[in-house]
Structure 1
Amino acid sequence: MRIGLLGTGPWARMVHAPALHEHDRLDFAGVWGRRPEAARELADRFGTRAYADVDALLDDVDAVAVALPPSVQAELAVRAAGAGRHLLLDKPIALSVPEGRAVVTAAEKAQVASVVFFTTRFQREPAVWIAEQAAKPGWFTARAHWLGAVFTSDSPFADSPWRREKGPLWDIGPHALSVLVPVLGDVRRVAAAVRGPRDAVHLVLEHTGGASSTLTLSLSAPPAAAGAALELRGEAGATLLPAGSDDGVAAFRRAADALLDSARTGTPHPCDAAFALRVTETLAEAEALLA
């Protein structure tokens, strides 16, 4: 499969490009970016072609991986799907429900495969744990915290305008939801959403499986307090989400494997654009409560 990369920022340089370059079942065919000089630099680094025109890249590939701000991603994903290209997207799929729905509609109309890179879902140990817990009945409640230090450290993502605007709800909220939903069921209702210190957000969710969950999210936690954890409690007892041993590149290679398999078989992946749309709908509901 010939695949092109849309985007040249830190995530593209750190994760997408190395993973595509190393993948033995992908031909990393080219890079397009909103800054042509950055596209040329990244293409030279990984021995591929820089494209000045995004439609020219779409004409030359079978699929695209997207590492762009969510609203830009949504617009280009619709264009790529319309050209018949499979989609390897990042979370969140979009920053509004209409944008996300447009991606899903375009992918379904074109009958192209889509996989959205919720990092934890593609790390080996967490993926096994999620499948095991989803098979157990009787979960009562869960509590999760995803605490980042993006804005309190030297993170390469600290200058991201969309993260500054939308905060932890939209940046790391998708990670927590991607773990909770397959185990507890879809979010039936955001029962409460309140703000905490700095940019912290606290959510209470009701799930279709009957359980409730609480989430604490931040991008401005003290660096010493940063980290992620999730605990489930129910008839099976208590269990903690294990840490993943895979780095971002290895996890993204596994997401690329999932796209290849979905494109070959025609079977939707659990982390497809439709699942990402449901995450977007939940985030929008929480954002409305916060407002």
Structure 2
Amino acid sequence: MSTTTPVEVGLVGAGPWARAMHARMLAAGPETRLAAVWARRPDAAREVAAPYGAAVAGTPEELFDRCEAVAFAVPPAVQAELAVRAAKAGKALLLEKPLGPDLAAARAVADAVAAAGVVSQMVLTKRYHPATREFLRRAAGFETTGARSCYLHGAFLGGEFATGWRLQEGALLDLGPHLLDLLDTAIGPIVSIRGTGDPRRWVELTCEHAGGAVSQASLSGCVPLTGARTQVELFGPAGTLLYDTSGIDHEQGWPVLRAEFAAAVRAGRSGELDAARGLRLQELIEAARPS
């Protein structure tokens, strides 16, 4: 779905995910245009902005003045602070997961979005891929008794993403939103959750869902796999239903994400993957923290 006039989007952040995903996606259009970039390091912001002819903002407020919507590709604590300011400035928000570094910060973002009445959308990238949507469509008609799932990779062992908050908080805060969103959507609302293990090494979650189904989720960013492994397998009276991302091109979901965000901004209405959804996932993460 396209819009008549591209949505002018400002990007907060100039790290690896901003370069590899956000800037490329937003600049590709035609539904959006990368209008400006702000980062705490001006030289990094210039490197991200230059290939797309985007402006470099000197402050977050200058970025807000140059755009209709703000996309975030920064650590959760930075996003939570600046998203509240952007919402108060009347800007639509394209938000990364997790919504904040903790539940209080996530709630502050969701509250600011609600108070300002601005459009918000979570970058839960898997949810925009056709394979994911087909799985969720089939899961809606599948009677689930139990489920097993995992999200595993080795990115925390070294490389661009083995830094900062990911190493400190581990897989529960980084990978948990993706897997919990899929389980909560495919099987039914999670009504209780408990976690065991060390989120910085391996954490195991057990979820009870409305309707009685039970699911388990394994999360780790510290296993030396050749590629990320994301699987959800549902079991029920009719047999099994499997979701496996190993054979998909994740970039196929980017145009869908971009188009749906632009359409929401033009319509002035958020979709189901809004800041309130991000808060719901943060509540589950908080409840799942091993004691």
Of 151, 156, 159, 1:155 maps to 159
Distance in 1, Cα, partners of 2:34 & 2:117: 22
Distance in 1, Cα, partners of 2:254 & 2:226: 27
Distance in 2, Cα, partners of 1:71 & 1:245: 31
> C-alpha offsets along residues 261-291 of structure 1, whole Å, 9 cap, x if unaligned?
222334431211111101000101111xx13
Does 2:34 align with 1:31?
Answer: no
> C-alpha offsets along residues 93-117 of structure 1, whole Å, 9 cap, x if unaligned?
1121111111111111111111101
Q: Which residue of 1 aligns with 2:248?
A: 245
Does 2:24 align with 1:18?
Answer: yes
Q: Which residue of 1 aligns with 2:187?
A: 184
CA contact (8 A) 2:98 2:278 kept: yes
> AA paired with 2:177?
P
Does 2:41 align with 1:41?
Answer: no
Does the residue aligned with 2:145 lie in a helix, a strand or coil? Answer: strand
CA contact (8 A) 1:86 1:263 kept: yes
Distance in 1, Cα, partners of 2:269 & 2:67: 21
Of 147, 170, 173, 1:142 maps to 147
Distance in 1, Cα, partners of 2:154 & 2:255: 26
Distance in 2, Cα, partners of 1:108 & 1:252: 26
- How far residue 209 of structure 1 moved from its aligned partner, in angstroms, is 3.3
- How far residue 222 of structure 1 moved from its aligned partner, in angstroms, is 2.0
Unaligned runs of 5+ in 2: 1-6
User: Would the alpha carbon gap of residues 201 and 55 (structure 1) be closer, same or farther in structure 2, given more than 3 Å must change?
Assistant: same
User: Would the alpha carbon gap of residues 97 and 242 (structure 1) be closer, same or farther in structure 2, given more than 3 Å must change?
Assistant: same
Residues 1-291 of structure 1 mapped to structure 2, 5 A cutoff = 1-134=7-140, 136-152=141-157, 154-158=158-162, 160-190=163-193, 192-195=194-197, 199-224=201-226, 226-243=228-245, 245-248=248-251, 250-287=252-289, 290-291=290-291
Large movers: runs of 4+ above 4 Å: none
Does the residue aligned with 2:249 lie in a helix, a strand or coil? Answer: coil
Does the residue aligned with 2:74 lie in a helix, a strand or coil? Answer: coil
- How far residue 235 of structure 1 moved from its aligned partner, in angstroms, is 3.1
Please give the root-mean-square deviation of Cα atoms over the aligned residues, in Å: 1.8
User: Would the alpha carbon gap of residues 262 and 236 (structure 1) be closer, same or farther in structure 2, given more than 3 Å must change?
Assistant: farther
CA contact (8 A) 1:16 1:252 kept: no
Unaligned runs of 5+ in 1: none
Does the residue aligned with 1:223 lie in a helix, a strand or coil? Answer: coil
> AA paired with 1:272?
D
User: Would the alpha carbon gap of residues 193 and 30 (structure 1) be closer, same or farther in structure 2, given more than 3 Å must change?
Assistant: same
**Alignment length (residue pairs):** 284
CA contact (8 A) 2:171 2:221 kept: yes
> C-alpha offsets along residues 111-138 of structure 1, whole Å, 9 cap, x if unaligned?
111110112101111122112212x152
Distance in 1, Cα, partners of 2:88 & 2:167: 31
Does the residue aligned with 1:52 lie in a helix, a strand or coil? Answer: coil
Q: TM-score with structure 1 length normalisation?
A: 0.92
CA contact (8 A) 1:84 1:112 kept: yes
> C-alpha offsets along residues 50-97 of structure 1, whole Å, 9 cap, x if unaligned?
111110110121101100001111111111111110011111111211
Does the residue aligned with 2:170 lie in a helix, a strand or coil? Answer: helix
Q: Which moved more, 1:17-26 or 1:225-234?
A: 225-234
Q: Which residue of 1 aligns with 2:3?
A: none
> AA paired with 1:187?
I
Distance in 2, Cα, partners of 1:255 & 1:67: 15
Distance in 2, Cα, partners of 1:24 & 1:44: 19
